[in-house]
Structure 1
């Protein structure tokens, strides 16, 4: 090749290289910042498995055999104003509000309890056919969305929990396992990940993790090395972009405000 012909090719190669160096890698997941609005009291005996906000109160599902409950809580004080105790053979998991009904998953029994929200009493028991385990639960206005500790989310008919579709969740192209407590908000799904200090922000269409919310700074100092008493519990707050965040047997509940995403 004539030396003069090499010059345009070299310039083209340099241009391509510069584009690659300045382009944002497709697999880099942005991190959403937040600020803490309030630090509030939380029952340190509550093994939090599910959390939701409605009518200026929190509803909390607490787990463990012989101690599982569904609670209505004053979020500003941590005071339990109403509670229902589950049978000793049931281990409570995630909860979701649909109209005047609260759905509460159980861990291994394949039962989902449906509560009258005002009376806080179960009125129906549905069979969990989508998986052998229940972990997280939320309602997006159309379907109940459940997790089972895998990398899948299950979209369910609220009448009988029949499966509508399954969504594989991936972070940077890899399946994201141990999906736990869930919260549907503003067209996306927020998920706790068991034994992880991050909350994943997930597209309900593609299953891709679109952002991380790093909550390591919120973990109480005396629990940072505890493999069981981990971050778990997400609920929308009183105002837009606000979230309640807590963990299993944490003495604190945080109200945080998310910064706008990119």
Structure 2
């Protein structure tokens, strides 16, 4: 009896598999070469129906929103977009999936800088995050067993406040919002919250969809977090869920290894890890609108290394309308004024 029941179960499973395989096959086609198109362009969508089955209806969706067969890409985010077609054929509903890559439609503008002042910087600080808040400079430093949160007198280099992190934490970026310091750790899935005045630890938060903590900034309401990829995540400061994200693209492709972040004048300034360039990013769609090459400034650092003591630290001082630039274990902090070439 047991063998008979087992035989019936096998037949039933085979029947279900065969029924599922009888659903028609469709795929989404686009008029874009390699499914890659630039912002502001128009792309035509169509359905590939190799079996020539009868179709009742087709609904196209881009990132979950219904779109027409002639799709305008004027007000969309850059990067990989989820493109699907919901196809009804007879009694079957079939989902055909594809992707569309949206690039920026112009080259980034080139920016340059003028050094306004040079200040001392602690050469033992493996700088990961740098930010001004109410005229005071705060710094996060990394490495296991050496990670710290600091308040620094930027003119003298004096350490005004210091908190050592537990040895299991590798500190990364930080930002300050509403008298709270938010500090990331690298691979511990943990962000730490402090009182900006006392450095008292107020709590922690866990990462959501992103796997690592790299850079952090804020727009006065939400946090923006990099994770070492081409993505920047938007965090809700109440739930700490990653409610939204942008992918960072130029007119040629994506920019990965985004690290330290700074919000200034409605844009995100992002340091690219192990690179002397800083990208100026549109936070709405992820477009790289400008780039700054800080290669010349590295010649003033005696221990500069392109794969260790790299540029990493961007802070905007709204009181002076200048940026402060440093790096990992640099002995100098540079105040610069950034202008378009």
TM-score class normalised by the smaller sequence: 0.7 to 0.9
Contact 2:129/2:312, CA 8 A, preserved across alignment: yes
- Tell me the SS of whatever aligns to 1:33: strand
Match of 1:66 in 2: 145
CA separation of 1:118/1:225 partners in 2, compared to 1, >3 Å: closer, same or farther?
Answer: closer
Greater relative contact order (CA < 8 Å, ≥ 6 in sequence) = 1
CA separation of 1:225/1:93 partners in 2, compared to 1, >3 Å: closer, same or farther?
Answer: closer
Q: In the TM superposition, what is the alpha-carbon distance from 1:112 to its structure 2 partner?
A: 0.5
Within 2, Cα distance between the matches of 1:170 and 1:240? 30
Is 1:246 the counterpart of 2:330 in the alignment?
Answer: no
Contact 1:47/1:63, CA 8 A, preserved across alignment: yes
Is 1:130 the counterpart of 2:209 in the alignment?
Answer: yes
Match of 1:54 in 2: 133
- Unmatched 5+ residue regions in structure 2? 1-103
- Tell me the SS of whatever aligns to 1:217: helix
CA separation of 1:39/1:240 partners in 2, compared to 1, >3 Å: closer, same or farther?
Answer: closer
Match of 1:90 in 2: 169
Match of 2:302 in 1: 222
TM-score by length of 1: 0.87
Is 1:42 the counterpart of 2:121 in the alignment?
Answer: yes
RMSD: 1.6
- Higher alpha-carbon Rg: 2
Q: In the TM superposition, what is the alpha-carbon distance from 1:240 to its structure 2 partner?
A: 5.1
Within 1, Cα distance between the matches of 2:233 and 2:318? 27
Contact 2:274/2:306, CA 8 A, preserved across alignment: no
Q: In the TM superposition, what is the alpha-carbon distance from 1:225 to its structure 2 partner?
A: 3.7
Match of 1:158 in 2: 237
TM-score by length of 2: 0.67
1:191-210 matches, within 5 Å, as 191-210=270-289
Q: In the TM superposition, what is the alpha-carbon distance from 1:73 to its structure 2 partner?
A: 0.2
Match of 1:187 in 2: 266
Q: Deviations over 1:36-77 (max 9, x none)?
A: 000110000000000001233210000000010100000100
Match of 2:228 in 1: 149
Q: Deviations over 1:58-107 (max 9, x none)?
A: 10000000010100000100100100110000010110111110000100
